[in-house]
Chains A and B, each alone.
Chain A
Amino acid sequence: MRNDHSEYPYKMQGKPDFSYLTVNIPAGQTLKVEAGSMATMDTNIRMKTKMRGGFSRFLTGESLFINEFSAENGPGEIGIAPGSPGDMDHVYLENDIIYLQSAAFVAATMGVNVESKWQGLMKGFFSGESLFLARCSGVGDLWFNTYGAMMEIEVDGDYVVDTGHIVAFTEGLEYRVGKVGGYKSLFFSGEGLVCKFSGKGRLWLQTRQLGAFANWVYPFRPVKSQGGSDD
């Protein structure tokens, strides 16, 4: 896995708060892009929607719908902006395997296989996030994003992460979901359940969590008045 090499030329701008990606697709080549995140493109580029991930993507709740953009009459440029404001990172996979929280996928070159992977009911359910991870393998570029800023941590041994802050991790890291501290901490620490990683690998985290933000806003919703109309 490398950070200093890419298959297609690209640039990431607006980091860390409003990251967006521009990729130059060579003539005749294709890029996989998360559905709905294409912002701009030149007229050499054609899009087609590919069914990917089979039935499972209906269960993920996330659009692991991936569109393919091909540069047809010469090289083409595409601008990609993820749905939520935040940070973005790139890795060049060399037969590495990296697991993404499914909302984190932004784009990949054709040599990267992206599949939904069932986390298992307990892990998925308790982590409070999607029940699926996107398993990315093969050779090529992979871009992924966060809500909030992104941190990278080299793990050798044990590391504990709040479940909602996991963005991605490399194969080689095992994880299990558990509580921090004693039962008092489980209920009152505000940390809920955490992921305990062990092994050797790389971990990407986000400094903010969209779900926590939505929960924060929730009490500010107006209260439905008695006899008021439904809307």
Chain B
Amino acid sequence: MHIDLIFQPGNSAARVALGPNESITAEGGAMIAMSGDMAIETSTKKRGGGGGILAGLKRMLSGESFFLNHFTAGSNGGELFLATTLPGDMMQLDLQGETIIVQSGSFVACSDGIDIDLGWQGFKSLLSGESVFWLKISGHGKVVLSSFGAIYPQEVNGEYIVDSGHIVSFDETLQFKITKPGKSWLNAFLGGEGLVCKFEGQGTVWCQSHNPSSFGWEVGSLLKPRA
């Protein structure tokens, strides 16, 4: 498998070249074009895992739609193009046994040796304010992630605070807690920062330069109200 990221950073797409019968798993809706003999199979889990359409529907009802498509090339290999809805960059990680936590909207694709745990509840106990959920991704292989705007690493050594809407992914080695950016909760809400994530330990947080929901509310407020 070979993955090229093209048209970075504004309207990035990933070109995936697959060998004969090789396969890749991508986020539902990410495929923009592919070879004619590519097979596609849809599920709510990584191939081989349990889970079914019902589990996916349940997630849809709670505003967390997440379906995965498994693409398998034909006997001559094939190509596949993946892209996102929002403008922005993409990155490619090679995992060799590490575990990362990824914001669901940033996941694009991964190779066969990677496990996706959709049930990661790390942030669940707290109201995060963002309508996102998180994926725990581990194993050996390639992972493609996307960002809204630019994507950049923030090395953490000690403590570091990142607004939850700007997180693309982070190393599972980092401890984290959702907290308020200032001294009081009143400040947190009046200051418009909402909730932030405080990381502790040593590792990398991949950040996106723009927060999708901030942009959404900015544009949305200029539109006519929904009836």
Interface string of A153-179 (1 = CB under 8 A from B): 100011111100100000000000000
Chain A residues touching B, range = 35 or more
| Residue in chain A with minimal CB distance to B35 | A159
Contact at A207–B36, with CB atoms within 8 Å?
no
A17 to chain B, nearest CB (A): 4
Contact at A189–B221, with CB atoms within 8 Å?
no
B62 to chain A, nearest CB (A): 15
Known: A161-B32, A162-B32. Contact between A207 and B11, CB under 8 A? Answer: yes
Known: A153-B33, A181-B41, A188-B28. Contact between A17 and B10, CB under 8 A? Answer: yes
Contact at B53–A188, with CB atoms within 8 Å?
yes
Known: A181-B40, A188-B53, A207-B13. Contact between A224 and B7, CB under 8 A? Answer: no
Q: What chain B residues lie within 8 Å of A151 (beta carbons)?
A: 6, 13, 33, 81
Alpha-carbon separation in the docked complex, A225 to B227 (Å): 9
Known: A151-B81, A209-B85. Contact between A180 and B40, CB under 8 A? Answer: yes
A199 to chain B, nearest CB (A): 11
| Residue in chain B with minimal CB distance to A220 | B220
Contact at A223–B33, with CB atoms within 8 Å?
no
Chain A binding site: helix, strand, loop or mixed by DSSP? Answer: mixed
Q: Is A121 an interface residue (CB 8 A)?
A: no
Partner among A160, A161, A189 whose Cβ is within 8 Å of the Cβ of B67: A189
Q: Is A148 an interface residue (CB 8 A)?
A: yes
Known: A189-B69, A216-B86, A223-B225. Contact between A159 and B36, CB under 8 A? Answer: yes
Alpha-carbon separation in the docked complex, A148 to B216 (Å): 19
Known: A149-B6, A181-B42. Contact between A188 and B33, CB under 8 A? Answer: no
Q: Is A48 an interface residue (CB 8 A)?
A: no
Contact at B67–A212, with CB atoms within 8 Å?
no
Contact at B36–A188, with CB atoms within 8 Å?
no
Q: What chain B residues lie within 8 Å of A181 (beta carbons)?
A: 39-42, 69
Q: Is B87 an interface residue (CB 8 A)?
A: yes
Alpha-carbon separation in the docked complex, A203 to B33 (Å): 11
Alpha-carbon separation in the docked complex, A153 to B33 (Å): 10
Q: What chain A residues lie within 8 Å of B41 (beta carbons)?
A: 181-182, 185
Contact at A189–B32, with CB atoms within 8 Å?
no
Alpha-carbon separation in the docked complex, A72 to B34 (Å): 48
Q: Is B38 an interface residue (CB 8 A)?
A: yes
Q: What chain B residues lie within 8 Å of A153 (beta carbons)?
A: 33
| Residue in chain B with minimal CB distance to A216 | B85
Nearest 5 Cβ contacts at the A-B interface: A158-B36, A220-B220, A190-B29, A190-B28, A149-B7
**Partner-B contacts on A (CB < 8 A):** 16-17, 86-87, 148-149, 151, 153, 157-162, 165, 180-182, 184-185, 188-191, 196-198, 203, 205, 207-209, 212-213, 216-225, 228, 231
